[in-house]
């Protein structure tokens, strides 16, 4: 079943699973299992005009601060997608026992390289699939972009770690972008963590049993601001102890999408059997 109230689109699957997607940024803000247990962190604080702090904001067309030169140089951190109002296509893509799926779309602002984004969120018995389509609507120019699904997994970072990153190269943004090789079987983002892992395996797992499968999103960012979040105006006190961000993306470089062509990136989050 799909319902919409103000900016919130709610998907409920026959199994009792549910998800909520905001039209602000097409941000998934809730993913609950059949026992109504929440699996995404959402800050209790919200700052008007800013991206939603929690859920799954989409970074596009830049990850982090934009390059000093070029058509994105004056964009805010993580680009325009997460702070834009997306259009909700009311025609359900799917609404059956097999799954419930909705689609939101966004055209690039007129001053930016032209692109159309289509985001599909699909809920099935144990899974949430988020699929981002990027279409280069120019008939002549290449579209450069980075894209990332900034996923706030609910759980204390001391207890919930990330498996599958051992051996991967990463840039430690907390240490000036030094490149290191991950040596841990389980990565814990307890304490200030901002690591950009490059070319990671497509199958990652959290130690709480949540699985993350990704497609066409080669890199993975693991982030937790720890107590530095005290200065954030959209984070409730102690909120940083409630999540670990695991963010599949194409961020190491700018993807160069040819005129008229389409790119698709996806992550599927699978809950442990209940």
Ligand X SMILES: O=P(O)(O)OC[C@H]1O[C@@H](O)[C@H](O)[C@@H](O)[C@@H]1O
Active site residues: 150, 247
The residue within the footprint of ligand X, chosen from 39, 78, 135, 153 (CB under 6 A), is: 78
153 binds ligand X (CB under 6 A): no
77 binds ligand X (CB under 6 A): yes
Minimum separation from the CB atom of position 34 to ligand X (A) = 30
Give the pair of three-digit tokens for residue 134.
């990027």
Minimum separation from the CB atom of position 173 to ligand X (A) = 5
53 is in an annotated binding site: yes
236 binds ligand X (CB under 6 A): no
Q: 5 CB contacts (<8 Å, ≥6 apart)?
A: none
Interface size with ligand X, residues (CB under 6 A)? 10
With respect to ligand X, which residue has the nearer C-beta, 55 or 99?
55
- CB burial of 182-204 (b: ≥16 within 10 Å; e: otherwise) equals beeeebbbbeebbbbbeebebeb
82 is in an annotated binding site: yes
46 binds ligand X (CB under 6 A): no
Supply φ then ψ for residue 82, to 5 degrees: -75, -15
Minimum separation from the CB atom of position 138 to ligand X (A) = 28
Gyration radius of the chain over CA positions: 18
Taking residue 215's Cβ as centre, other Cβ atoms within 10 Å add up to 14
Binding mask 85-124 for ligand X (x = CB under 6 A): ----------------------------------------
Taking residue 159's Cβ as centre, other Cβ atoms within 10 Å add up to 12
Peptide bond before residue 234 is cis, with ω within 30 degrees of 0: no
194 binds ligand X (CB under 6 A): yes
* Cα separation, 110 vs 147, whole angstroms: 19
Helical ranges in the chain per DSSP H? none
Minimum separation from the CB atom of position 197 to ligand X (A) = 11
Known binding-site residue numbers for substrate:
53, 77, 82
Q: Interface with ligand X by CB under 6 A: which residues?
A: 51, 64, 77-78, 150, 173, 194, 221, 223, 247
Known binding-site residue numbers:
53, 77, 82
């Amino acid at each position: 079943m799909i319902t919409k109230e103000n900016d919130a689109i709610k998907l409920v699957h026959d199994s009792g699973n549910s998800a909520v997607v905001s039209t602000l940024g097409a941000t998934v803000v809730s993913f609950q299992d059949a026992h109504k247990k929440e699996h995404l962190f959402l800050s209790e604080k919200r700052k008007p005009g800013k991206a939603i702090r929690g859920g799954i904001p989409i970074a596009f067309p830049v990850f982090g601060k934009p390059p000093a030169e070029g058509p994105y140089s004056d964009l805010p951190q993580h680009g325009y997608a997460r702070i834009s109002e997306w259009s909700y296509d009311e025609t359900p893509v799917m609404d059956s026992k097999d799954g419930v799926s909705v689609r939101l779309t966004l055209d690039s602002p007129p001053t930016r390289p032209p692109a159309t984004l289509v985001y599909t969120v699909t809920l099935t018995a144990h899974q949430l699939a988020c699929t981002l389509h990027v279409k280069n609507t120019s008939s002549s120019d290449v579209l450069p972009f980075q894209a990332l699904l900034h996923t706030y997994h609910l759980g204390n970072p001391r207890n919930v770690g990330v498996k599958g990153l051992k051996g991967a190269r990463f840039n430690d943004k907390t240490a000036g972008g030094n490149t290191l090789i991950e040596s841990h079987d389980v990565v814990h983002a307890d304490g200030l963590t901002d690591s950009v892992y490059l070319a990671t395996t497509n199958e990652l797992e959290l130690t709480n049993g949540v699985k993350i499968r990704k497609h066409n999103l080669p890199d993975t960012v693991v982030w937790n601001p720890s107590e530095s979040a005290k200065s954030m105006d959209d984070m409730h006190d102690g909120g940083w102890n409630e999540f670990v961000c695991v963010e599949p993306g194409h961020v190491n470089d700018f993807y160069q999408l040819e005129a008229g062509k389409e790119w698709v990136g996806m992550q599927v989050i699978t809950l442990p059997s209940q």
